[in-house]
């Protein structure tokens, strides 16, 4: 397979949180977060993903958050809209809307709960890809969805001109290596796990879609930039320096810890929507300690 497709971004894309106040989206805080990200070197913004609590946004909220993010970003960095669903018709509708309002790309998660066979996965992703005019990043996160994209399925999906990249959050480095070997010429590869940025870059990846970047956008960008400059030791050293904090950001279900962290930093509200809830006190103390070590609070 030859790579004749466009690359949406290189480096660090923040999987941006969605601020809530009294269970409503706080657009003032959201605008401030977007400015904070751009000012601090983030390379792209992924909106309404897992970290953005897209699964508990109403349809109206989901569309407005995408539209608002595109408008406020104003072309300064690419905006990638999370428009995947376990209902393919809804994913089609939401994806078409995201394209219409100016998103630069789409992030499509595998169907969750009802899952899919390999044939169903291909048909579902193609149903979206056939009707949109923006590039698509596939999102593989089987620990959340119960549905994994195998290398054989990736090979078929890579044949579509609109499917250009993969966010790999399986955590399975062996499977990611196989993906890179089989499809690396046809699909850009992004790490979906902050603790595996450098390992994925070493396999030919070109960046990360990051939770850490919500609180350390410059440093997350720098891990990728150093690698791209050939400064492998420096990139690896920064990855390892941040590893404890990265692990603490996943001490409870994402985005509970990172929402707590942005709240502690005064960036936006720490409010999450049920079934997510506030952190356990002991885990919160561990997160606070790691943030203090990095000079964030």
Measured CA to CA, the distance from residue 45 to residue 81 in angstroms comes to 8
Of the listed 139, 154, 190, 259, which one is catalytic? Answer: 139
Of the listed 72, 134, 167, 259, which one is catalytic? Answer: 167
Measured CA to CA, the distance from residue 103 to residue 101 in angstroms comes to 6
121 in Cβ contact with 129 (< 8 Å):
no
Active site residue 139: yes
Dump the DSSP string for the chain: ----SPP---EEEEE----EETTEE-HHHHHHHHHHHHHTT-SEEEESSTTTTGGGS-HHHHHHHHHHHHHHHTTSS-EEEE---SSHHHHHHHHHHHHHTT-SEEEEEPP-SS---HHHHHHHHHHHHTT-SS-EEEEE-HHHHS----HHHHHHHTTSTTEEEEEE-S--HHHHHHHHHHHTTTSEEEESSGGGHHHHHHTT--EEEESGGGT-HHHHHHHHHHHHTT-HHHHHHHHHHTHHHHHHTTSSSTTHHHHHHHHHTTSS-----TT--PPPHHHHHHHHHHHHHTT--
Q: From the centroid of its chain, how far is CA 12?
A: 10
Active site residue 27: no
Question: Which residues are marked as active site?
Answer: 139, 167
């Amino acid at each position: 397979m030859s790579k004749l497709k466009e690359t949406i971004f290189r480096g660090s894309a923040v999987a941006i949180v969605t601020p809530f106040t009294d269970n409503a989206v706080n657009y003032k805080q959201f605008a401030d977060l977007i400015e904070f990200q751009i000012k601090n070197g983030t390379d792209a913004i992924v909106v309404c993903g897992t970290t953005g609590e897209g699964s508990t946004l109403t349809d109206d909220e989901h569309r407005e958050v995408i539209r608002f993010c595109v408008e406020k970003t104003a072309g300064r960095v690419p905006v990638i809209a999370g428009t995947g669903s376990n209902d393919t018709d809804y994913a089609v509708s939401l994806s078409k809307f995201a394209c219409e309002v100016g998103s630069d790309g789409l992030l499509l998660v595998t169907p969750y709960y009802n899952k899919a066979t390999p044939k169903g996965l291909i048909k579902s992703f193609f149903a979206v890809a056939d009707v949109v005019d923006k590039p698509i990043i596939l999102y593989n996160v089987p620990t959340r969805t119960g549905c994994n994209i195998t290398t054989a399925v990736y090979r078929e999906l890579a044949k579509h001109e609109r499917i250009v990249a993969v966010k790999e959050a399986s955590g399975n480095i062996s499977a990611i290596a196989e993906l890179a070997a089989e499809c690396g010429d046809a699909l850009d590869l992004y790490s979906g796990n902050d603790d595996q940025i450098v390992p994925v870059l070493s396999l030919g990846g070109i960046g990360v879609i990051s939770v850490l970047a919500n609180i350390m956008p410059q440093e997350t960008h720098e891990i990728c930039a150093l690698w791209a400059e050939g400064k492998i030791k420096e990139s690896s050293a920064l990855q390892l320096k941040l590893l404890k904090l990265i692990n603490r950001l996943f001490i409870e279900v994402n985005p509970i810890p990172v929402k707590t962290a942005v709240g502690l930093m005064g960036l936006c509200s720490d409010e999450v929507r049920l079934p997510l809830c506030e952190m356990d006190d002991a885990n919160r103390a561990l997160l606070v300690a790691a943030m203090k070590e990095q000079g964030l609070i």
